[in-house]
Each structure stands twice: as C-alpha cells, then as structure tokens.
Amino acid sequence: MVQLIRENRSRFFKVKCPDCENEQVIFEKASTRVDCVVCGRVLAEPAGGKARLQAEILATFE
C-alpha cells in the first residue's frame, strides 16, 4: 500500500510597503490584488499562479 504525503507548497510573506513602510502578511498565490492597508499602494497582483510582488519581502512563513 502506497501512502501519499502532501507537502504544503504555499507560503505566506511578510512584506514592507515601499511608500509608508507598513508591514503586513500576504499569501504567495494571491488571486486578487493586495493593497497596503495604510496608504493603499498595490503590494501584489495576481499573475496566474504566484502573485507578482511589488514590495520588499521581510520574512517567509510556511
């Protein structure tokens, strides 16, 4: 009997907004546009899989 073990292939990123330096956590494969909650700048846009990030990644959470 073969047992399949699925790995979690998705991650969360802690990013810093380039405008106001607010830090927030976003999903690596975001399916909608992610805006900064403070200033409203776009931090990530969907790109058909992984999101296209427009912010600096500070940490990775699995």
What share of the chain in percent tops pLDDT 70?
95
Q: Of 35, 56, 31, 34, which Cα lies nearest the Cα of 46?
A: 31
Give residue 23's Cα distance to chain centre. 12
Query: Residue 37: is its pLDDT beyond 70?
Result: yes
The domain total for the chain is 1
Q: Domain containing 16: what range?
A: 12-61
Query: Residue 5: is its pLDDT beyond 80?
Result: no
Query: Residue 48: is its pLDDT beyond 80?
Result: yes
Give residue for tokens 């330096």. Answer: 21
The overall average pLDDT reported for the chain is 91
Could you tell me the pTM of the whole model?
0.79
- 21 occurs within a structural domain: yes
- 51 occurs within a structural domain: yes
- 28 occurs within a structural domain: yes
